[in-house]
Amino acid sequence: MKNQWLHKVTGYVRIKITGAYPEMFINRCIDQKLMIWNINHVGKDVLVCSVLLDEVKYLRQLARVSDCKINFIERRGFPFFIRKLWKRNGLLFGGVGFLFLLYMLSNMVWGVEIEGASPQVEHELRQAVTELGIRNGAFQFRIPPPEEIQSIVTDEIMNATWIGVTRKGTTYHFQVVEKELAEREPEEAPGHLVATRKAVIYDLFVEEGRANVERNQVVEKGDLLVSGLIGKEGEELKVSAKGTVLGEIWFEAGVTVPLSQTLYAATGERYRTHYLHIGNVKLPFWGWNPPEYVNNKKEIFESSWSIFGLQLPFYYGYRDLLETYEIEVEEAIEEAIEIGKKTGKDKLSKEFSEDAEITGEKVLHHEVEDGKVKVIIHYRIVDEIAEKQPIIQGD
């Protein structure tokens, strides 16, 4: 039948009908509008069928009228399942109790973890969360949500910049970012800022003290730039003068470049040979016949290969063969002057600080003497010219 699922909910029985005419019993049931289905012949004058549980009470009377005997052979459906389950109520209550206990235990706090905190901050944080009820054995549904906990503990812990709160299962995790207090710099002794060399004041910025110079003013070595005495005359307060004083300095560098060395320039022609390095052996795989230049220069490029930090025993490289020609004497002098400029800049790095800036460069004079070129170069340089000078008694 189409509604067998409904019969399983309300319950039904399988009965065996025995008699001379069991079909008569079936007909009487149908006349009484009783629900009967799955009617089967299982022997001579024996029928088996299914009947709703609610209609069993009418079967005895119809059986006597039909001169038949009824036996119950099966009981099916939800009511019979409940009856069997109730007979095993110990197992039922045990299962329900286990599920209830599992639910309660899974909603309790079994761990509080704190990361990134010093011992002092961790102690303060544990006290704060304990006051909020976050302790081993507490029920989670009685604890505020993590967002509210985060706001409360962040406000209470003064030495923490930020405290993150997350709940993972039965454990609360606290991630702490503490405040970093900058170390106080030791107090400097009172002093002035004086010039380290002759210069023209290019720019100045005074943090503490009183400026004693102005822009475009010429100062000599040892001149007072920023005074460490501030206040009214006779009531001066001694401080440690601080600031930046940039001066424009004129500097001449003399450089000698020998002409005896042969200078060459590239013509632009080149030939490239590609090869593979295996150990100490080079295996060229492209460019086997390089041209024969009268003057040449070699440039080599090599790239090593590695996998997961392990250096491979082979790598790729190439070699360029450049055609060159000898520079004439006039061109050699110009080349020597350029070399002199580079050498002069190298000298500047020894005379001035790393922050020095070259604002002007000019070759004043050059002369050739005994196969050498002497070059005089004038530089305009902006650099820090202030240095500390302590205030001595009587200043």
Q: What is the mean pLDDT of the chain?
A: 81
Rounded to whole angstroms, the Cα distance separating 26 from 19 reads 12
Distance CA 227, CA 239 (A): 9
Are 292 and 357 contained in the same domain? no
Q: What's the pLDDT at 263? A: 65
Whether 391 is in a domain gets the answer no
Amino acid at 67: D
* 12 part of a folded domain: yes
Q: Are residues 281 and 345 in the same domain?
A: no
Q: 70 and 15 share a domain?
A: yes
Residues 10 and 77 in one domain: yes
In a domain, 165, yes or no: yes
DSSP secondary structure string, 269-296?
EEEEEEEEEETTEEEEEE-------SSE
pTM as predicted: 0.39
In this structure, is residue 13 part of a structural domain? yes
- Within-domain flag for 98: no
Q: Is the pLDDT of residue 2 over 70?
A: no
Residue 137's domain is classified under what CATH number? Answer: 3.10.20.310
In terms of pLDDT, which residue wins out, 381 or 277? 381
Q: Do 311 and 366 fall into the same domain?
A: no
Has residue 1 got a pLDDT over 50? no
β-sheet bridge partners, residue 165: 174
Angle at 382 between CA 244 and CA 252, to 5 degrees: 140
Spatial distance between the Cα atoms of 243 and 224, rounded to a whole number of angstroms? 13
pLDDT at 308: 57
Distance separating alpha carbons of residues 255 and 345, to the nearest angstrom: 10
3 state SS of 59: helix
Is 204 in contact with 217 (CB distance < 8 Å)? no
pLDDT in tens, 173-225: 898 888 776 566 666 788 888 999 899 999 989 888 888 889 999 999 988 88
Domains in the chain: how many in total?
A: 5
Q: In the listed set 149, 178, 207, which residue is the last one of a domain according to the structure?
A: 178
Residue 59 near residue 72 (C-beta atoms within 8 A): no
Determine which of 326-335, 343-352, 363-372 has the lowest per-residue pLDDT on average: 326-335
Let me know: does 391 contact 191? Beta carbons within 8 Å: yes
Model confidence at 363: pLDDT above 50: yes
Whole-angstrom distance, CA of residue 19 vs CA of residue 21: 5
Is residue 100 in a domain? no
pLDDT tens digits along 304-315: 766 655 676 777
Would 349 be classed as within a structural domain?
yes
User: pLDDT tens, 230-266?
Assistant: 877 777 788 888 888 999 988 887 877 776 556 677 7
Domain boundary, last residue among 157, 178, 199: 178
Q: For position 192, what pLDDT does the model report? A: 86
Write the CB contacts of 258 (distance below 8 Å, at least 6 apart in sequence): 371, 372, 373
- 228 versus 214: the higher-pLDDT residue is 214
CA–CA dist 211, 193 (Å, integer): 9
In a domain, 310, yes or no: yes
Q: Which helix (H) or strand (E) element contains residue 55?
A: none
Q: Same domain, yes or no, for 333 and 319? A: no
Residue at a domain's end among 323, 342, 363: 323
For position 59, what pLDDT does the model report? 85
**Do 341 and 318 fall into the same domain?**
no
Q: What is the distance between the alpha carbons of residues 53 and 9, in angstroms, rounded to a whole number?
A: 10
Helix axes 119-131, 146-156, angle to 10 degrees: 130
Same-domain check for residues 205 and 162: no
Domain hosting residue 298, numbered range: 265-323
Element (H, E) at 357: strand 357-369
286 lies in the same domain as 351: no
Q: What is the pLDDT of residue 332?
A: 66
